[in-house]
Structure 1
Amino acid sequence: MDVANLAVAVISAVAGVAGAYFAWIPVRRLLSDRRAPRPQVSPTPPLPAPASPTPVSPTPTSPTSVSRPPASGTPSPGDGASGDDPAATAYDVFVSYSHDDADLVTELAGRLERRGVRVAYDRVLVRPGSIVLHEIERAIRDSAHGLLVFSPASMASGPVMNEYYALLRKSVYGGRLLIPVLAADVRDEELPEFVRIRFCSDLRGASDTVFDRRVEEIAEAVRRAASP
């Protein structure tokens, strides 16, 4: 063996030893990891159970008084149901009408007054400088009963219909009379429902004798209503 071959053999041996060494290193690390004791992991403590809510005693409160609306059908202020004596009012009857029927109303009111009935209507209420609506409203309030002359003109009049509703309210809630008087050529089927259920004083085409008889009937009805 010459020198060259010897050198190659030595180098090959050294390379084999080095390769074996470097191959052993990862194996040694793997064996060391397996032999080393693993750290103990303490178990996670269980979460505490939620605390039960503390019962809270309700604070006693004083009862609150609640205002209740009046029952249906209970008269409210201004209904004419305050218990006032009709005899203590300023007038016995308020007459609502259209000015187209002024001549008839003037005759009717005059005959009633001659029988002792105190009559209120615009011709005796309104004075120069007075406010017509205020005087009419006051007269309706200060009259014991109401009389409404029904004619085509009055039924087409807004102010007369307003007076009708005011008189009807006093009649329904206050027990006051609402006397329908039929004039001109008004037809029965044109009358409001609350008028049809009442006995009407019919002056349509009435002679003077019949007219006077109807006036007496109205006066008697007012007198009876005023009696205790």
Structure 2
Amino acid sequence: MGFEGWGLVVGVVSTLAAVVSTSIDVRGRLARRRAPVPAPPPVNPGGEYDVFISYADADRATAETLAGRLRAGGLRIFLAEWIGPGLVESLEKEAALSASANGILVFSATTMNDTAIRDEYAALLARAHTGGRLFIPVLVEDVELPPFARIRRPVDLRDPGGPRFEESLALLVRAVQPRSDAT
């Protein structure tokens, strides 16, 4: 076989390698597209929650992180982000608020600009006054708390990864743990 014959063989092998490589890449992309998206934890319809977390839409990622950490502590958490398709968000929130032992409101610069969050703030305060349930302000930014949140001791989570962050988070988990009536 001459030089041209080897060139043809190398060209054919190179083309086959490119086709196989492209095929593998396309299959991988299709498999990733078909891979199921991990579902958020289910909302507990009609069930009880240890904590209702209220947050502005801008603080969604922070609220999800907080909820995940509280769930890791064995707590049952309500987060509006976890409401399933076909459900009415305002009704689910109202039911969850009624079925929650404690309420947390994530405070940032955008919190009190949201009318729905102001309603949740009022409902959390009312439950704290009439139902003996905790309302815990959680600071995630340097903001001044509204008057009725200011009179409560907030949990300071403004410095993720900082020395006091883990200590403050552990304090929050302990505060909302269900209490045993046995002595």
Normalised TM-score (structure 1): 0.56
1:111 aligns with 2:69: yes
Q: Which amino acid aligns with 1:171?
A: A
Alpha-carbon distance, 1:209 to partner: 4.7
SS in 1 for 2:101: strand
Could you say which structure has the larger radius of gyration?
1
1:23-172 aligned within 5 A:
90-124=48-82, 126-172=83-129
1:204 to 142, 158, 172: 158
Alpha-carbon distance, 1:91 to partner: 0.5
Partner Cα separation in structure 2 for residue 227 and residue 205 of structure 1: 32
Q: Per-residue displacement from partner, 1:175-208 (whole Å, max 9, x unpaired)?
A: 100010011231x3xx221111111001123425
Which residue in 2 is equivalent to 1:226?
179
Which residue in 2 is equivalent to 1:7?
none
Moved over 3 A (4+): none
Partner Cα separation in structure 2 for residue 127 and residue 112 of structure 1: 20
Q: Per-residue displacement from partner, 1:30-67 (whole Å, max 9, x unpaired)?
A: xxxxxxxxxxxxxxxxxxxxxxxxxxxxxxxxxxxxxx
Q: Which amino acid aligns with 1:226?
A: R
Partner Cα separation in structure 2 for residue 217 and residue 112 of structure 1: 11
Partner Cα separation in structure 1 for residue 180 and residue 138 of structure 2: 23
Which residue in 2 is equivalent to 1:19?
none
Alpha-carbon distance, 1:210 to partner: 2.9
Which residue in 2 is equivalent to 1:214?
168
Partner Cα separation in structure 2 for residue 211 and residue 99 of structure 1: 23
Alpha-carbon distance, 1:103 to partner: 1.3
Partner Cα separation in structure 1 for residue 100 and residue 136 of structure 2: 13
> How many pairs does the alignment contain?
135
Alpha-carbon distance, 1:137 to partner: 0.5
Task: Name stretches of at least 5 consecutive residues in structure 2 with no aligned partner.
Answer: 1-46
Partner Cα separation in structure 2 for residue 155 and residue 121 of structure 1: 18
